[in-house]
Chain A
């Protein structure tokens, strides 16, 4: 069991967890992820490690409650425990040194981008950051990202905070005003990473994207997370999770990630019924 030592709500549906997992904390590098199982009958889901504290043997995960498993996880608090945390998995992010780079985070992807941004700054890079969210209440880690960036722009789709518009609009301006940028690190929803990659291709800027494919084991065993990169089959868990965004077949991955939409609905409906029953029991 992996005890939860702290939780805090960062935004509606987005929760930060600090979890005791000393072996993972010790070895974790920016870009690594863990496979988590919340409860005994649960599925295995990949979650990027946001931070770690080797002295206390803890890792930090930031999770948006969107499916049954993440909603169940959001009900857990300090004192509860997760049944399984395996990792650190995946290849660490290649961290450039002494260059100018751009970091682009969309939605909860900002949490996954945070450790990379921090490492890039520590490696002496000049870091331009863009973080975007649908609206003001969903903007997360603004202070943390500001601390490890030389320059930061916050965008919201609805204009309720920062600049109105998409992250690509802000990124375009940054690239044009700072042509010395050598690489772009983008993490967020697939359509956003696709849009970023399409944009940076025009400027020939090397672009790293982190692919959130459906995984079971996370160790290269099932092949469920296969993605097409440069026309070749790659496994996101062991060959990635980061790939050259200019070579990723995003449309294929977007389709593949819809495979279990119907099953997820069944899971969610059952979970909601169970929650409703429990609520009734408590009321009675």
Chain B
């Protein structure tokens, strides 16, 4: 595509990177409305004209699903916002979600040419703008599925990898059924990521667009229990299966006091609030407890989500306890900034050793040790070492542990021949096929804990591999060549 930007490169570089409009921190720390309202049209247009239209757009391979960023930005410049979102949708069926939760600063925007001397193009915010524009103006038209294929494909889990895999296969003309254990589709997008980062109405829109492709979703269906993988192949008549059951099993630290009332895994805490809407108790029946002071343990995005949620639930003091320093935090920088702005108190280089309970078995404090950083460990991060005699007790009435998850073992334990590795992570080849022919897997189930976009990438790769596998089966092969 030729260049269409009317500005000279020098002029483009003079335009400052356009910032999102955000709710003020003091206000948003007390509500569950979305933090960022994104770019308005004027800012989006201006931002798009900052694009240098590189001959070799490095942003595209920088995106895990290779969105044609240059082309979509050019469509924005031409005010063809629907054209732009459809361009994204060619490779990414969940643009309104990715525009919000993708770590662009580590992906497309990290390699952006403009970013070498100036702030990079706000690709993520532009993605969100065109996706939201289409939703606000109700301009979505489902892609026309031209070819119809006889094979049925089952998708296990309606999270980001499963939804993506389903969309790609449905576009190819397969009959796709998603089986979801919870009562609503979305997986971690539904139970994990809070409303203030991803409004449920946006998620609902994206899920409905997948249904618009003819994908059927069975909720309340726990594969492994309601039906096994072998039954899905047998009496249900599926020809291939994609597993995207996520990393749903919470890890606990194993310190004393974890059985006290008021101690939660981040999964439970966030599920109560996000899926069950405990923030609207008693209008909704599910309660959650925070008290005046709450401690969240961990330094990842889940910890940030939990601590910011705790603040919004009315905690006067919401502490984040992390055993390394701010530099080692795995959370997105944007989320750390947002948390700091909202008044979250960070206790860095601090490691909990015990949760303290009162006479009624409720949490009343958390005992911690100060840490200092030593030599780098196997992860390359400097290893925290306890400072002797530095114990102190922080008074809190609730504790949330966000210290990691491992794959939910139900499918693995009921599927003979499905190989797993460390922590029960399902072993896959380079096209996401498992040790069981015809069974593919992706997302956190095959990664152990990653991002929405990497899960989506797995879902896409698996969809292509499933297509190849089924074509080979149709022509008489055994499908094994799909993995070659």
Chain A residues engaging chain B, CB cutoff 8 angstroms = 23-24, 27, 35, 37, 41-44, 68-69, 83-89, 216-217, 219-224, 226, 228, 233, 238, 252, 255-256, 258-260, 263-264, 266-267, 270
> Are B220 and A233 in contact, CB atoms less than 8 angstroms apart?
no
> Are A84 and B219 in contact, CB atoms less than 8 angstroms apart?
yes
Q: Mark B355-376, 1 if CB is under 8 A from A, else 0.
A: 0000011000000000000000
Complex contacts, A23 vs chain B, CB 8 Å: 221, 226-227
Q: Mark B244-259, 1 if CB is under 8 A from A, else 0.
A: 0000111010100011
> Are A27 and B225 in contact, CB atoms less than 8 angstroms apart?
yes
Q: Which of A23, A42, A221, A263 has the most CB of B within 10 A?
A: A221
Task: State in angstroms the CA–CA spacing of A85 and B218 once bound together.
Answer: 12
Stretch from B265-273, B324-332, B378-386 forming part of the interface with A: B265-273
Question: Chain A: which residue is nearest B250 at the CB level?
Answer: A223
Given contacts A86-B183, A86-B221, contact A216 B286 (CB under 8 A): yes
> Are B252 and A217 in contact, CB atoms less than 8 angstroms apart?
no
Complex contacts, A83 vs chain B, CB 8 Å: 183
Nearest 3 A-B pairs (CB), nearest first?
Answer: A263-B287, A222-B268, A86-B220
Complex contacts, B472 vs chain A, CB 8 Å: none
Chain B residues engaging chain A, CB cutoff 8 angstroms = 181-183, 191, 219-222, 225-227, 248-250, 252, 254, 258-259, 261-262, 264-265, 267-268, 271-272, 276-277, 281-287, 289, 360-361, 408-410
Q: How far is the CB of B32 from chain A (nearest CB, A)?
A: 16
> Are B221 and A224 in contact, CB atoms less than 8 angstroms apart?
no
Question: Chain B: which residue is nearest A90 at the CB level?
Answer: B225
Question: Chain A: which residue is nearest B254 at the CB level?
Answer: A233
Known: A41-B283, A221-B191. 6 other contacts (CB 8 A): A23-B226, A44-B286, A83-B183, A223-B268, A258-B261, A266-B287
Question: Chain A: which residue is nearest B357 at the CB level?
Answer: A255
Q: How far is the CB of B229 from chain A (nearest CB, A)?
A: 14
Please name 18 pairs of A and B residues whose Cβ atoms are closer than 8 Å in the assembled complex, sorted by A: A23-B221, A27-B226, A41-B285, A44-B286, A68-B285, A84-B219, A86-B220, A86-B221, A89-B222, A220-B248, A221-B267, A223-B250, A224-B264, A226-B258, A256-B261, A256-B361, A258-B361, A266-B282
Q: How far is the CB of A23 from chain B (nearest CB, A)?
A: 5
> Are A233 and B258 in contact, CB atoms less than 8 angstroms apart?
yes
> Are B272 and A216 in contact, CB atoms less than 8 angstroms apart?
yes
Task: State in angstroms the CA–CA spacing of A23 and B223 once bound together.
Answer: 11
Given contacts A220-B248, A222-B265, A223-B252, contact A24 B285 (CB under 8 A): no
Q: How far is the CB of A99 from chain B (nearest CB, A)?
A: 27
Complex contacts, B258 vs chain A, CB 8 Å: 226, 233
> Are B225 and A87 in contact, CB atoms less than 8 angstroms apart?
yes
Complex contacts, A260 vs chain B, CB 8 Å: 287, 289
Complex contacts, B284 vs chain A, CB 8 Å: 41-43
Complex contacts, B252 vs chain A, CB 8 Å: 223, 226, 233
Q: Which of A37, A87, A88, A222 has the most CB of B within 10 A?
A: A222
Contact of A43 among B254, B268, B285, B360 (CB under 8 A): B285
Complex contacts, A42 vs chain B, CB 8 Å: 284-285
> Are B410 and A219 in contact, CB atoms less than 8 angstroms apart?
yes
Complex contacts, A266 vs chain B, CB 8 Å: 281-282, 287
> Are B261 and A221 in contact, CB atoms less than 8 angstroms apart?
no
Task: State in angstroms the CA–CA spacing of A83 and B268 once bound together.
Answer: 22
Task: State in angstroms the CA–CA spacing of A76 and B38 once bound together.
Answer: 45
Q: How far is the CB of B398 from chain A (nearest CB, A)?
A: 11
Task: State in angstroms the CA–CA spacing of A83 and B219 once bound together.
Answer: 11
> Are A84 and B222 in contact, CB atoms less than 8 angstroms apart?
no
Contact of A220 among B182, B191, B282, B409 (CB under 8 A): B409
> Are B287 and A221 in contact, CB atoms less than 8 angstroms apart?
no
Task: State in angstroms the CA–CA spacing of A266 and B285 once bound together.
Answer: 10
Q: How far is the CB of A259 from chain B (nearest CB, A)?
A: 4
Task: State in angstroms the CA–CA spacing of A27 and B227 once bound together.
Answer: 8
Task: State in angstroms the CA–CA spacing of A217 and B191 once bound together.
Answer: 10
> Are B410 and A238 in contact, CB atoms less than 8 angstroms apart?
yes
> Are B261 and A259 in contact, CB atoms less than 8 angstroms apart?
yes
Task: State in angstroms the CA–CA spacing of A169 and B284 once bound together.
Answer: 43
Complex contacts, B249 vs chain A, CB 8 Å: 220-221, 223
Q: How far is the CB of B280 from chain A (nearest CB, A)?
A: 8
Given contacts A219-B181, A221-B248, A267-B285, contact A87 B222 (CB under 8 A): yes
Complex contacts, B181 vs chain A, CB 8 Å: 86, 217, 219
Task: State in angstroms the CA–CA spacing of A52 and B351 once bound together.
Answer: 50
Complex contacts, B259 vs chain A, CB 8 Å: 226, 228, 233, 252, 255-256
> Are B282 and A267 in contact, CB atoms less than 8 angstroms apart?
yes
Q: How far is the CB of A145 from chain B (nearest CB, A)?
A: 27
Q: How far is the CB of A170 from chain B (nearest CB, A)?
A: 32
Task: State in angstroms the CA–CA spacing of A216 and B259 once bound together.
Answer: 16
> Are A220 and B410 in contact, CB atoms less than 8 angstroms apart?
yes
Q: How far is the CB of A35 from chain B (nearest CB, A)?
A: 8
Q: How far is the CB of B289 from chain A (nearest CB, A)?
A: 7
Task: State in angstroms the CA–CA spacing of A35 and B220 once bound together.
Answer: 9
> Are A223 and B265 in contact, CB atoms less than 8 angstroms apart?
yes
Task: State in angstroms the CA–CA spacing of A86 and B184 once bound together.
Answer: 12
> Are B222 and A86 in contact, CB atoms less than 8 angstroms apart?
yes
Q: How far is the CB of B454 from chain A (nearest CB, A)?
A: 20
Complex contacts, B285 vs chain A, CB 8 Å: 41-43, 68-69, 267
Task: State in angstroms the CA–CA spacing of A252 and B282 once bound together.
Answer: 27
> Are A259 and B262 in contact, CB atoms less than 8 angstroms apart?
yes
Complex contacts, A224 vs chain B, CB 8 Å: 264-265, 268
Complex contacts, A263 vs chain B, CB 8 Å: 281-282, 287, 289
> Are B225 and A43 in contact, CB atoms less than 8 angstroms apart?
no
Q: How far is the CB of A84 from chain B (nearest CB, A)?
A: 4
> Are B271 and A221 in contact, CB atoms less than 8 angstroms apart?
yes
Task: State in angstroms the CA–CA spacing of A252 and B261 once bound together.
Answer: 10
Contact of B267 among A24, A222, A264, A270 (CB under 8 A): A222
Given contacts A69-B285, A221-B249, contact A89 B276 (CB under 8 A): no
Complex contacts, B283 vs chain A, CB 8 Å: 41
Q: How far is the CB of A215 from chain B (nearest CB, A)?
A: 10
> Are A41 and B277 in contact, CB atoms less than 8 angstroms apart?
yes
Complex contacts, B262 vs chain A, CB 8 Å: 259
Q: How far is the CB of A28 from chain B (nearest CB, A)?
A: 10
Complex contacts, B226 vs chain A, CB 8 Å: 23-24, 27, 86-88
> Are A219 and B248 in contact, CB atoms less than 8 angstroms apart?
yes
Question: Chain A: which residue is nearest B246 at the CB level?
Answer: A221
Complex contacts, A68 vs chain B, CB 8 Å: 285
Task: State in angstroms the CA–CA spacing of A122 and B272 once bound together.
Answer: 41
Complex contacts, B182 vs chain A, CB 8 Å: 86, 217, 219
Task: State in angstroms the CA–CA spacing of A89 and B408 once bound together.
Answer: 14
Complex contacts, B227 vs chain A, CB 8 Å: 23, 27
Task: State in angstroms the CA–CA spacing of A259 and B222 once bound together.
Answer: 28
Complex contacts, A88 vs chain B, CB 8 Å: 225-226
Task: State in angstroms the CA–CA spacing of A259 and B357 once bound together.
Answer: 13
> Are B276 and A43 in contact, CB atoms less than 8 angstroms apart?
yes
Complex contacts, B271 vs chain A, CB 8 Å: 216-217, 221-222
